[in-house]
With several copies, the nearest count.
Chain A
Amino acid sequence: MNPAIRTSHGNAPLDKHGIAALVAGHIPDGAFVNLGIGRPTLVADHLPPGSGVVLHTENGMLNMGPAAEGNDVDPDLTNAGKVPVTEMPGAAYFHHADSFAMMRGGHLDICVLGAYQVSSGGDLANWQTRAPDAIPAVGGAMDLAIGAKQVFVVMTLFTKGGTPKLVRECSYPLTGLGCVDRVYTDLAVFDISPRGVSVTHTFGVTFDELAARLDMPLLDGTNP
């Protein structure tokens, strides 16, 4: 990780835009990135002009532009969330098998995903809860989880009920095994590596407060 990342800490929890801005700041210039549906999509709004970051959408496009409005809406041009989008100069279109080959072949630099749970070993659960009448629907989540060189998760650290979403073992059905590299939350950023789970940033909490609320060993990476 860029050492500069470790030095920024906040005194208040981040809102979803704050998280998105933080992620955007950690994406290297020129990276090829897929932003999952929902909160991850917000990251696009915080990418600095001229960053050269190229957005991939798994329904068959590189160099996707912002959401389309008014006369720019074209039913033939949507993102993976089926929202009308625009095309940037240097765009390329390809079919679904080529698009997922690009993903599954490990060519994307970063994929940003939402999650229900992430385990201390980097397992991701983001496609299904165990709600009694849930209809299973996975979309591209499992491909995204295992394909990119780095997988970043954005989520709140706790459910509305106060239960941690960063856990020893996921209780929800898994999307991918050991695939998450970094977890961005309202209260902290976590690096997951073979060494363990390291807290690199905190927002409005201390390392010790976090450690007390999460059921796993944490490494303190906030003051390297």
Chain B
Amino acid sequence: MSTRFYTDAGEAVAEIQDGSTVLIGGFGMAGMPVALIDALLQQDAGDLTVVSNNAGNGDTGLAALLAAGRVRKVVCSFPRQADSYVFDELYRAGKVELEVVPQGNLAERIRAAGAGIGAFFCPTGVGTLLSEGKETREIDGRTYVLEYPIRGDVALIGAYRADRMGNLVYRKTARNFGPVMATAATTVIAQVREIVETGALDPETVITPSIYVDRVVQEVDQA
């Protein structure tokens, strides 16, 4: 159904509920939907499962959500970073669960959820701790691990421009997880830098078609 546009990020994320699985785009700060995460912090949904490449940096964004005790579990490829101290402390105190997923498996499992794939035999992680207990199979002489889709109740993503239908384009490596996450959640909320009229985006360049986008919020320039 048609994409809805919001001027208030708080309104766009208001319906996110306790216990939701929230896919959060971005790789480092590139593509990170900061305004949406901040808005989520302002409402009170807790017991969240967050699926994102990292587990927060410094004291803002996802780290702030973690610090506020709102996150039960993090599914990510790389929690540990120079400034991931908020996550590190919670994890060591046993206050947050962690599922570490190889980055390619994370992306492909999210894609699988969006593409209606029930599970797939994957070459990454075979014979490692991260595939322990998982089903394996040899196919054409190579061993694969069976991996399952990762679905979200909500996806929060950052894009560059939206048109008034909700079609999205990204910019450079800020594209990263946005396009696959947009296919894999019940409600997809995008923050964009700019909204343009329908017809202003070249149809060849649309990366996330409007069908995947439920809500769009334009970033307010902080400058």
A and B, direct touch (CB closer than 8 Å): yes
A contact patch SS: loop
B189 within 8 A of partner (CB): no
Q: Does A104 contact B (CB under 8 A)?
A: yes
B2 in complex: contacting residue of A30, A63, A100, A108, CB < 8 Å: A30
| B106 contact set on A, CB distance < 8 A | 96
Do B77 and A138 touch (CB < 8 A)? yes
Whether B167 sits at the interface, judged by CB under 8 Å, is yes
Within 8 A of A (CB), among B36-87: 77-81, 87
A140 and B211 contacting across the interface, CB-CB below 8 Å: no
- Chain B residues in 8 Å Cβ range of A90: 163-165, 167, 198-199, 201, 203, 210
> What distance in Å separates the Cβ of B66 from its nearest Cβ neighbour in chain A?
13
B113-130 residues with Cβ-Cβ distance < 8 A to A are: 113-117, 122-130
Given that A90-B163, A93-B206, A107-B183 are contacting pairs, would A138 and B27 also be in contact in the complex, using a CB cutoff of 8 Å? no
B80→A137 contact, CB < 8 A: yes
Assuming the A-B contacts A30-B2, A89-B199, A101-B114, are A176 and B91 also in contact, with contact meaning beta carbons closer than 8 angstroms in the complex?
A: no
Residues of B within 8 A of A69 (CB): none
> Known contacts being A82-B28, A97-B180, A101-B116, is A76 close to B173, with CB within 8 Å?
yes
Which single member of A100, A137, A177 contacts B127 (CB below 8 Å)?
Answer: A177
Find A63's partner among B87, B116, B164, B165 (CB 8 Å cutoff): B165
Q: Within residues 69 to 128 of chain A, which ones have a CB less than 8 A from any CB in chain B?
A: 74-79, 82, 87, 89-97, 99-109, 128
User: For residue A124, which residue of chain B has the nearest CB?
Assistant: B128
Given contacts A104-B124, A106-B116, contact A143 B103 (CB under 8 A): yes
B173 and A93: CB pair below 8 A? yes
With A and B bound together, what is the CA distance between A59 and B30 in angstroms?
Answer: 10
Q: Could you say which of A50-58, A204-212, A214-222 contacts chain B?
A: A50-58
Q: CB distance A54 to B211 under 8 Å?
A: yes
Which of chain B's residues have a CB closer than 8 A to the CB of A58?
103-104
- CA distance in complex: A4, B172 (Å): 39
On chain A, the residues within 8 Å of B129 by CB distance are 128, 136, 173-174
B16 close to A (CB within 8 Å): no
Please, how many angstroms separate the alpha-carbon atoms of A139 and B54 in the complex?
9
B14 contacts chain A at the CB level, 8 A cutoff: no
Residues of B with C-beta under 8 A to A59: 27, 30, 173, 176
Number of interface residues of A (CB under 8 A): 61
Cβ of B175 and Cβ of A60 under 8 Å apart? yes
A174, B173: Cβ atoms under 8 Å?
no
A173 to B, closest residue via Cβ: B129
Contact A92 B28 (CB under 8 A): no
A3 to chain B, nearest CB (A): 19
* A140-B206 CB under 8 A given contacts A77-B172, A96-B103, A135-B98: no
- Given the known interface contacts A62-B211, A90-B163, A174-B127, the answer about A95 and B30 at a Cβ–Cβ threshold of 8 Å is no
Which are the 10 A-B pairs with shortest beta-carbon distances?
A100-B104, A30-B2, A89-B199, A143-B104, A101-B115, A104-B116, A82-B28, A92-B206, A90-B165, A137-B80
Pick 29 A–B contacts, CB within 8 A, sort by A.
A52-B2, A59-B173, A60-B176, A61-B203, A62-B210, A82-B27, A82-B28, A87-B172, A90-B201, A93-B170, A93-B203, A95-B170, A95-B178, A97-B107, A101-B111, A102-B183, A105-B113, A105-B115, A105-B116, A135-B87, A135-B92, A136-B100, A137-B81, A140-B102, A142-B102, A142-B128, A146-B124, A147-B124, A174-B129
Q: Which residues of A contact B (CB under 8 A)?
A: 28-32, 52, 54, 56-63, 74-79, 82, 87, 89-97, 99-109, 128, 133, 135-143, 146-147, 173-177
